[in-house]
Structure 1
Amino acid sequence: MKRQKVSCKSILIMGAVISLSLFGCGNGKKSDDSSAVQAETTAASTIEVETASLETGSSQMDLEALRKDLKEKYDIGEPGSIAKNEKTGKWKMVRVSNGTPASNYAVDYAKAYITDDSDIHFIVNFGLKTTTKIKTMFGKVEAKTTEWTKGEENDANLIGTGLELADQFFDLETGEEIKAEADPNAGTVQPDELINAVKEALRGEMMEGQTITDVSFDGSNLKIVSDISKINEGAKIQVPLDAAAETSVGTITDAILALDDQYYNTWEKITVDFGNFGHVTFDKSSVMDEGLGKFFKITGNVLKK
């Protein structure tokens, strides 16, 4: 059989065709992979968007349901602005007239209408003649209730300034009230143990020149006597002694309230006495706790002469 002769030109053409074919196949595979990745990415993005939309929708539905519940039960509507002297845009007010203290639904209200810790809302209840300030802070809700005074709801400088009736704190997540509590199983201590513990707790807490002259306990009332008459001796800046005594009240009581539960369980009242500069007695029932430790709420001048 006669062998057919193939030219170099033919070989070159065939090689080019094969190369083009191979190159085309390679590009086709790469294109398919890219399309698959893009499709997967698009699908994942779509799922994320749909999930976020569902969560937002669900959250919005919960919010609307909560607001509807507040409206039906307590006639709580959309908070409005305060007419006079409100410059922050963060103070809001609601008017109601029912027999339910705002503290009963303070947590639900906060979840429904408070957007951040800088918001301050007031619920003015004409039925109870009270004004309750609702504010959140670090996962807690404060419900401070004061006596309502005529016209205060129209002026930011006046609202919530009546006589304080109650100041309560609640856990925003659980709704439980935060109270000053001690472990009853911790027991109590002997009077001498309490007195020595208090003296030790106050050591180093006093101002320069201030001394604790006596600590006594009568079985109920824990009394601390302090002398501040020498705090200005040798000082370049003279401090008004009345003001120094007022400031020292919180320092002394905070140190005592920081003691362990067995000491807390032992006393019922604390008296802080500064002689001529006044004295004050706190009952255990007025101890507060915002979740950061026990304290007595001290506003303004509390010492009596």
Structure 2
Amino acid sequence: MNTCWNRIRHVLAAFVLLSLAGCDWALFNSKGAVGIAQRDLIIVCIGLMLFVVVPAIVLSFAFAWHFRASNKRARYTPDWSHSTRIEAVVWGVPLIIIAILSVIVWRSTHELDPYKPLDIAGKPLHVEVIATDWKWVFVYPDLGIATINQLHFPVGRQLVFDITSNSTMNTFFIPQLGGQVYAMAGMRTKLHLVANEAGEFRGLSGNYSGHGFSKMQFTATATSDADFERWVNQVRSGPVHLGFEAFQRIAKPTQGHAVVHFSQVEPGLFKKVIDQFTGVGENANPQAAMHVQPSETSKE
């Protein structure tokens, strides 16, 4: 009997390991204040829900074992229909947990509002994010530079992202730093993040947007202030400029696009991309604007 049970345990363990082989634990390896807060929220919520799930699973096996046909000590009560104590536990415990979760989610929703600036001293770094098919364009308006599929920033400095899309809906997501905010045509969404330590972090879109979706990724690199300044100077030394017409050519669908640096950026490029879909501005596209509902205007 023991040998059989050991074999079953080994099979179950192997199955669990195989099922987790493709899991990405980036959400639980957070490297930023926002990501850590979101990780802790996930763990707390899962832990509270397990107070109901684990006992229910254990009792389902315990009841089957206790009331098996060979157990002569189990009482047979076919007319039993009610127990106040059982009802109190079955309904009371979940209600208490739901109440606790409601308070936690209410507080965390306001504390982790992506539009809410972080309580970090110093001037934030402003980055404008444009999702295209299928690549990311990052514009640093205060520095006058831009990149494709590459994001650099200093450790410990607040990042303020303005996010939009030049085509279909995507989500801007750096799992180890937190967030995941929609990028939508004709709209401006916001996100505030910070990296607590240096490193390279995977960025991606969490919203399916076509054939090139799986390769719509970028590298977010957190460096020291000195290394960031060197990187900025390197980008500025390049010969390629990014204007609205050049952006329209870049925005055409491609897959696995290489990293590109732009030493100069046309002022107001981000707003011109939004204006295509809102029916305003010199670059407005009336046909594109027809696909944006009146309530979906950009947040200025």
Q: TM-score range by the shorter chain?
A: under 0.3
Q: Which has the higher contact order (CA 8 A, sep 6+)?
A: 2
TM-score (norm. length: structure 1)? 0.25
TM-score (norm. length: structure 2)? 0.26
